[in-house]
Each structure stands twice: as structure tokens, then as C-alpha cells.
């Protein structure tokens, strides 16, 4: 039911863990639904210098988190904000339809983190 790429990112997730010196983080989902993830970002010169994630959830939740970090790394904040759930699913050669909405939350978590970073900036 999962593509090879999904299984690869589930078994060998990229950029998993916490960023000790993260500039911002974003969390979406909740354990009641079975999927919850946090994205940590490190920003330099308006670019995402480093990004990591922690995820509680199914295979698709972990694989989409991993792929989202790969897509986001090195992008400017505005470019990263344009990464959509569909982009993440496409990069993984698709997700089963039932997983598109419940488990494909990583892009949202990334946007949360970026927006949180931007809000901090305006407060300075």
C-alpha cells in the first residue's frame, strides 16, 4: 500500500530528532488522532539552515515528516512556506488516499515553525 519511497523514509528517516538551538518550532496534530509532529528550524540569512522533526504516528506520518525536512532544507522561508502537503506526497511517489489528510501534516508543522519564527522577528 505504501510506495518504495515512503517505506524508505519510514525505515531511514532523515533529520530525525530535536534541534538544541532551534530558532523556532511548530507542532501540529494530537495524540488522540494518532498523529502528532514537531518541526524544529534553524534559520540563517532568511534561509532554513537546518531542520529536524519528531513524530508520533503511522508510517506515512513519519515518512512525510522526513521528506518535508529534505524539501525544506536550504530553502528561503518564503520558498519553504510554499511547500504543500501535495508537494510532500508527490515527492514520496504518492500516498494512499486515506492517509492524505490524517497523516500528511508535516508541511503544516513546517509552516507553523516558520510563522512562529517570523512572529518572533516582528516582536524584536
Partner 1 sequence: MSTRVYMDNGAGRPVDSRVLEAMKPYFTEHHGNPASFHSEGFKALDALNEARGSVAELVNAAPGEIVFTSGATEANNLALLGAAQGNRKKGGKVVRSAVEHISVINIYKELSRMGFEVVECPVDETGVLILNELDRLVDDDTVLVTVMTANGEIGTLQPVREAAELTHSHGALFHTDATAANGQVPLDVKMLDVDLMTLSSNDLSGPKGVGALYIRKGVRVKPHMIGGGQENGLRSGSENIPGIVGMGVAARLARQEMEAESRRLTQLRDRIIEGLQAAIPESYLNGHPTERLPNNANIRFSYVEGEALVLSLDDLGIQVGTGSACAAKTLEPSHTLLACGLKHEEAHGSLVFTLGKNNNRDQVEYVIQELPGVVGRLRAMSPLTPEELR
Q: Under the rule (CB under 8 A), what is the footprint of partner 1?
A: 2, 7, 10-11, 13, 16, 27, 30-38, 54-62, 98, 102-103
How far is it between the farthest Cα atoms of the chain?
48
Q: Of these residues, 14, 102, 115, 116, which one is catalytic?
A: 102
Of 94, 4, 83, 93, the C-alpha closest to 39 is 83
Task: Please state the closest distance from residue 50 (CB atom) to partner 1, in A.
Answer: 17
Tell me, what DSSP letter sits at residue 12? S
Secondary structure class of 56 (helix, strand, coil):
strand
Task: Please state the closest distance from residue 53 (CB atom) to partner 1, in A.
Answer: 8
Nearer to partner 1, 74 or 96 (CB): 96
Task: Please state the closest distance from residue 44 (CB atom) to partner 1, in A.
Answer: 25
Q: How many Cβ atoms are within 10 Å of 23's Cβ, its own excluded? A: 19
102 included as an active-site residue: yes
Phi-psi region of 12 (alpha: psi -120 to 50; beta: other; left: phi over 0): beta
Q: How many Cβ atoms are within 10 Å of 65's Cβ, its own excluded? A: 32
58 included as an active-site residue: no
Nearer to partner 1, 47 or 54 (CB): 54
Based on C-alpha coordinates, what's the Rg of the chain?
14
Q: Of these residues, 33, 46, 82, 121, which one is catalytic?
A: 33
Nearer to partner 1, 37 or 72 (CB): 37
Task: Please state the closest distance from residue 94 (CB atom) to partner 1, in A.
Answer: 17
The residues carrying an active-site annotation are 33, 102
Amino acid at each position: 500500500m505504501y510506495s518504495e519511497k515512503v517505506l524508505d523514509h519510514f525505515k531511514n528517516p532523515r533529520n530525525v530528532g530535536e534541534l538544541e538551538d532551534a530558532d523556532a518550532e511548530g507542532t501540529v496534530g494530537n495524540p488522540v488522532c494518532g498523529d502528532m509532529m514537531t518541526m524544529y528550524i534553524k534559520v540563517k540569512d532568511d534561509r532554513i539552515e537546518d531542520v529536524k522533526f519528531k513524530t508520533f504516528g503511522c508510517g506515512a506520518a513519519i515518512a512525510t515528516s522526513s521528506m518535508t525536512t529534505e524539501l525544506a532544507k536550504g530553502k528561503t522561508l518564503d520558498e519553504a512556506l510554499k511547500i504543500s502537503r501535495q508537494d510532500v506526497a508527490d515527492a514520496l511517489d504518492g500516498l494512499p488516499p486515506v492517509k492524505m489528510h490524517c497523516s500528511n501534516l508535516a508541511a503544516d508543522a513546517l509552516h507553523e515553525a516558520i510563522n512562529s519564527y517570523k512572529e518572533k522577528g516582528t516582536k524584536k
